[in-house]
Amino acid sequence: MQPERSVVFLCFGSIGAVTHSEEQLREVAVGLHKSGHRFLWVVRAPLRGDTQRLFDPRADVDLDALLPDGFLASTEGRGLVVKHWAPQVEVLRHRATGAFVTHCGWNSALEGITAGVPMLCWPMYGEQKLNKVVMVEEAGVGVEMGGCEQGLVTAEEVEAKVRLVMESEEGERLRARVAAHGAAAAVACKAGGSSRAAFGHFLADAASLGRV
């Protein structure tokens, strides 16, 4: 029901989502509200020492307790908060999706690129920080969310970066670059493309090892 390229999609993976503190969730909510842009946000309850719950999709999420008072009501119609999970590939490929706030897991990065969606990069741990460097500084398909290295991205930063990607000329240039990379990825994955050829070589090498 939303206009083309008008929705900001926020999704941080199964582990990344639970590492956000309640304070961080509130900062994101305030930033999204102030930006005025449409959004789809996947939220999981913050981890409180219960590592077993980390992988429990049934763990309860009390959105009213986690998010600022009145947030859900005040953003109704332009924003949607989803508990636990969303079909990320389908969302990214949807015509209404205009930006992707991501933890920079490599699967998510590739899904964003192939969908041609510019990314707001929020790495959290491990290789995600290196992936962010590739995405922002080398490929130019994303912008960094300031404060992620220090442990708190403020509402002002969320608002500013959402507006940059969704409203500014720099955001349009970013969108053009990621679209070009997405088109190149599509060609690489077709029959005769470099990705298909590389995978064919891998399968041949694996088969030859099996005969040794």
pLDDT tens track for 24-57:
999 999 999 999 999 999 998 776 555 444 555 5
What pLDDT shows up at residue 133?
97
pTM (2 d.p.): 0.89
Q: Which residue has the higher pLDDT, 149 or 162?
A: 162
Tokens of 52: 């077993």
Tens of pLDDT, residues 74-93: 999 999 999 988 999 999 99
> How is domain 7-211 classified at the architecture level of CATH?
3-Layer(aba) Sandwich (3.40)
For every residue of the chain, which 3-state class applies, written as one string?
CCCCCCEEEEECCCCHHHHCCHHHHHHHHHHHHHHCCEEEEEECCCCCCCHHHHHCCCCCCCHHHHCCCCHHHHCECCEEEEECCCCHHHHHHCCCEEEEEECCCHHHHHHHHHHCCCEEECCCCCCHHHHHHHHHHHCCCEEECCCCCCCCCCHHHHHHHHHHHHHCHHHHHHHHHHHHHHHHHHHHHCCCCHHHHHHHHHHHHHHHHHHC
Domain ranges of the chain: 7-211
